[in-house]
Structure 1
Amino acid sequence: MKNKKKKVLIGSGIVLILLIASLIGGSLYMLDFSLRPVNRGKDMEGSMAYMRQTYPHIVPWIDSLNQCRALRDTFITAPDGIRMHAFYVRAPRPTTHTAVIVHGYTDNAIRMFHIGYLYNRSLGYNILLPDLRYTGLTEGDAIQMGWLDRKDVIQWINTAPYIFGDSIRAVVHGISMGAATTMMVSGEKLPDYIRCFVEDCGYTSVWDQFEKELKGVFHLPAFPLLYVTEWICQLQNGWNFHEASALNQVKKCRKPMLFIHGDKDDFVPTWMVYRLYEAKPQPKALWVVPGVDHAHSYRDYPEEYTGKVRKFVEGYLEN
């Protein structure tokens, strides 16, 4: 009887160990899948080819920047030693108006050149386009989903006056993960020259987005896999999915913000923008774009998008 009970205990222990090992292995896979994807915005030539094909109206502008050597590179170093890269372009005519433009998940600064065109060519602004960690020409060992990136973007914000002059008035504009980063930045203490924000299809929190993807792609519930993955992320990267919350950050933001989201977005679901907009104190504005999926509002409605941004942003940069 004792031998039988002992065998049952040993068998149960082995099963438990295998379950724990499988859970940890699955969580490590999920974290690598999410934060270290193969397509992480390192293909600079492919990114430029994509922009030329998708936004043909900006091609003459890109070519003119290259011909005149107006598209410049700059590097800074983060406090943890990461070397960070950004492109910048001065306005066609001297101005204080400046845009800091933040790219999305697995993208890079090049893949935000359409928004660069909007501000530089259409509105006549200086533009600064950082590569976030693990993308473009910026170093790093993982995508940080906007949470650690918010500190890097603030460092770029602090660098902007050294590039464009100390009297700048600036907007921060992000798309997708860049929009979440923008909202995460908005809840921090910022220089007075940051006047407003534009977020286009950003998520409420990393937890909400990963929970949605886990269910949609892998057909799995949040418990227990996402909880263990979050714990491992905390150990590896120093942050967790719940604290990486754009929703909590916009609650603290008192500067103006324009929210943009396609009403057919099923990657960052449209319901998220309503929660974000409701949480944000005034002043604020919302444009839910009909018939548009994820991150394609400018592509599908370039003139209207430009007009909405112009009307919102210039009112705050002029004063």
Structure 2
Amino acid sequence: MNRTRMLAGIGTPVAIFSTALLASEKLYDFAFKRVDYVPETSADKQKYADAYYAYVDWLHRQPVQQWQLNVNDADNHLVAQYVPAKTASERTVIISHGYKGDGETMANYAYMFHQMGYNVLLPDDRGHGQSAGKYISFGWQDRRDYLGWIDKVIRLNGVHTEIILFGVSMGGATVEMVSGEHLPNQVKAIIADCGYTSVEEELAYLLKRQFHLPKYPFVPMVSFINRHRMGYYLSDVSSVEQLRRNHRPIFFIHGEQDIYVPSWMLKKNYQAANEPKQMWQVPNATHAESFWIDPAEYQNHITAFLDHYVPHN
């Protein structure tokens, strides 16, 4: 009888652990595994669909060049679209896309910068679009890939080129993470729209909000799985820590009504970043909606920031 009770006492926590581990594996695959299509946008963004596809059609009509990195390395092969400026320009913007998107999904921002006289580079991040990768790194591996794209821009456009880094949502977090790397002088400024503080905090927040699940034990288990598959823990993936090493002018944009990446993450990122920095909270904007509410005002804010910190020669 005592042995039976002992085995039952052991079996119960083992069963709980196994169930939690299985759930964490499913969660990891759902959140981190690549998908070879762009999921449909959220219901609140459907009203912008016609405008979005008009920007995509514009992109398809441009003299787009395909740029590549690591061509002979199948596991690390990266692809980007490059749209040259209407007239020769020494200014290039590298635009980082959102979660489960690709470079094409940033066509509206590409159009905006193109109208401002910029060359535009639209990478597909690891695990997205035409680039390699089984899993999504949420900006962490991408931050080093963007150093490769920066070097390629300098190599092809010349040492006098001026580079702006721009990203939205996961792309916003990606350029925030790039900010903490050793950047060449040609990188002049960074613009991050609705980037998260860290993958760990974002995952814990969404688990609670969308699935009513606690952080423990799921986030540590997902982190352990990621360490096994990708080589690092989720706690390593931090915009905040990278922003503390930033030395470029940085402009934070965030919708006041964002419930996907909450506004407290904006404030935490802003506080972590070194000067010079600016912040714009967009009234009534939800996640990644700031551009769509008023594209002209959005462009005006970006133009004012760049004119101040990266004036034209």
TM-score over 0.5 (shorter chain)? yes
Give the counterpart letter for 1:181 in structure 2.
T
CA distance in 1, matches of 2:117, 2:254: 25
* In the alignment, structure 1 residue 213 sits paired with structure 2 residue 213: no
Paired residues of 1:108 and 1:136 also in contact (CA < 8 A): yes
2:121 is matched with 128
**Structure 1 counterpart SS, 2:165:** strand
Give the counterpart letter for 1:92 in structure 2.
K
Give the counterpart letter for 1:82 in structure 2.
N
* In the alignment, structure 1 residue 13 sits paired with structure 2 residue 7: no
1:116 is matched with 110
1:84 is matched with 78
* In the alignment, structure 1 residue 152 sits paired with structure 2 residue 149: no
CA distance in 1, matches of 2:229, 2:80: 26
Residue segments in structure 2 that go unaligned for 5+ positions in a row: 41-46
Q: Deviations over 1:42-69 (max 9, x none)?
A: 89xxxxxx9872336636743541xxxx
* Paired positions, count: 306
Paired residues of 1:204 and 1:245 also in contact (CA < 8 A): yes
Moved more, 176-185 or 90-99: 90-99
Moved more, 206-215 or 225-234: 225-234
1:101 is matched with 95
CA distance in 2, matches of 1:313, 1:80: 37
Q: How many angstroms does 1:95 deviate by?
A: 1.3
Paired residues of 2:36 and 2:128 also in contact (CA < 8 A): no
Percentage of matched positions with identical amino acids: 31
After superposition, residues 188-267 of structure 1 pair within 5 angstroms as 188-267=181-260
Give the counterpart letter for 1:5 in structure 2.
N
**Structure 1 counterpart SS, 2:234:** coil
Paired residues of 1:92 and 1:124 also in contact (CA < 8 A): yes
Deviating above 6 A after TM superposition, structure 1's stretches of 4 or more consecutive aligned residues are none
Residue segments in structure 1 that go unaligned for 5+ positions in a row: 44-49
Q: Deviations over 1:275-299 (max 9, x none)?
A: 1111111101111000000001111
Pair 25,196 (structure 1): closer, same or farther in 2 beyond 3 Å:
same
Q: Deviations over 1:34-91 (max 9, x none)?
A: 1126575389xxxxxx9872336636743541xxxx1111221187841111000111
CA distance in 2, matches of 1:84, 1:302: 30
CA distance in 2, matches of 1:161, 1:171: 12
**Structure 2 counterpart SS, 1:55:** helix
CA distance in 2, matches of 1:60, 1:213: 33
2:44 is matched with none
Paired residues of 1:105 and 1:145 also in contact (CA < 8 A): yes
Q: How many angstroms does 1:17 deviate by?
A: 2.2
Q: How many angstroms does 1:176 deviate by?
A: 0.1
CA distance in 1, matches of 2:136, 2:37: 8
1:55 is matched with 52
Pair 60,146 (structure 1): closer, same or farther in 2 beyond 3 Å:
closer
CA distance in 2, matches of 1:6, 1:81: 52
Pair 19,146 (structure 1): closer, same or farther in 2 beyond 3 Å:
same
* In the alignment, structure 1 residue 36 sits paired with structure 2 residue 33: yes
After superposition, residues 169-180 of structure 1 pair within 5 angstroms as 169-180=162-173
1:46 is matched with none
**Aligned alpha-carbon RMSD (Å):** 2.2
Paired residues of 2:81 and 2:103 also in contact (CA < 8 A): yes
Paired residues of 2:255 and 2:283 also in contact (CA < 8 A): yes
* In the alignment, structure 1 residue 25 sits paired with structure 2 residue 22: yes
Q: How many angstroms does 1:33 deviate by?
A: 1.2
Q: How many angstroms does 1:115 deviate by?
A: 0.8
Give the counterpart letter for 1:195 in structure 2.
K
Pair 151,168 (structure 1): closer, same or farther in 2 beyond 3 Å:
same
